[in-house]
Amino acid sequence: MVLLERNLQLPSDLVFRRRALEALLGGRDRRFNAFGLTAFLPRRPIQPAQAIQNAWVALQVPQCGYCQSGQIMSATALLETNKSPTDADIDAAMSGNICRCATYLRIRAAIHRAAEQLGSPDAAASQAGAQS
C-alpha cells in the first residue's frame, strides 16, 4: 500500500496506473480518483435529453410507463427549441401525448426542472408562479 497526498491508501497496481496516466498526460490539467483518470477536459454543457432524463427520475414522473417514450421525446424537442418554456408552451408541446395515469403535473414540473438544469433563468420564475 502507498500513502498519497490525500491520505488515501491504494494498492500498488493502482498507484502504478496513476503514475502512468500522469506521465502520459504530461502537464495537462487532470483529475484522478482511486481507479485512474476521471476527467482531463472541461465538462460539456448538459444537453436537453440528459436534463429531461435527470428530471424524470428525480421527480418520479412515470407510473405505468406506457407513454413515457413519447413524453420524453416531446419534452426534449421542446427544450431544444425553447430553453425557458412557460406552462402554456409546455401544454401546447405535450398536447399530442396522452398519459393514462394523468401524471401531467409531474411532467410539467419535470420540464421546468430540466429547463432550470439547462440554465434557463425564466424557468424557475415560471414554475414558482405556477405553484402559487
What pLDDT sits at residue 65?
Answer: 86
| φ/ψ bin of 99: left (φ > 0), alpha (ψ from -120 to 50), beta (otherwise) | beta
pTM, 2 dp:
0.60
Q: At what angle do helices 68-81 and 104-117 cross, to 10 degrees?
A: 40
Give the per-residue pLDDT at 56: 94
- pLDDT single digits (tens) 69-95: 999 999 999 999 999 999 999 999 999
pLDDT of residue 11: 55
Under 8 Å between Cβ of 111 and 104: no
Q: Which residue has the higher pLDDT, 16 or 111?
A: 111
pLDDT at 46 over 80: no
What is the per-residue pLDDT for 45?
72
From the CB of residue 5, how many other CB atoms can be counted at a distance below 10 Å?
Answer: 5
Which CATH code is given to the segment(s) 48-131? 1.10.150.120
Average pLDDT over residues 48-67: 92
Question: Which carries the bigger pLDDT value, residue 79 or residue 12?
Answer: 79
pLDDT reported for residue 121 = 54
Average pLDDT score over the chain: 75
- At residue 54, does pLDDT exceed 70? yes
Q: What pLDDT, on a 0 to 100 scale, did the predictor assign at position 1?
A: 43
List, as one string, the DSSP characters of 72-126: HHHHHHHHHH-SS--HHHHHHHHTT---TT--HHHHHHHHHHHHHHTT-HHHHHH
Domain extents for the chain? Answer: 2-39, 48-131
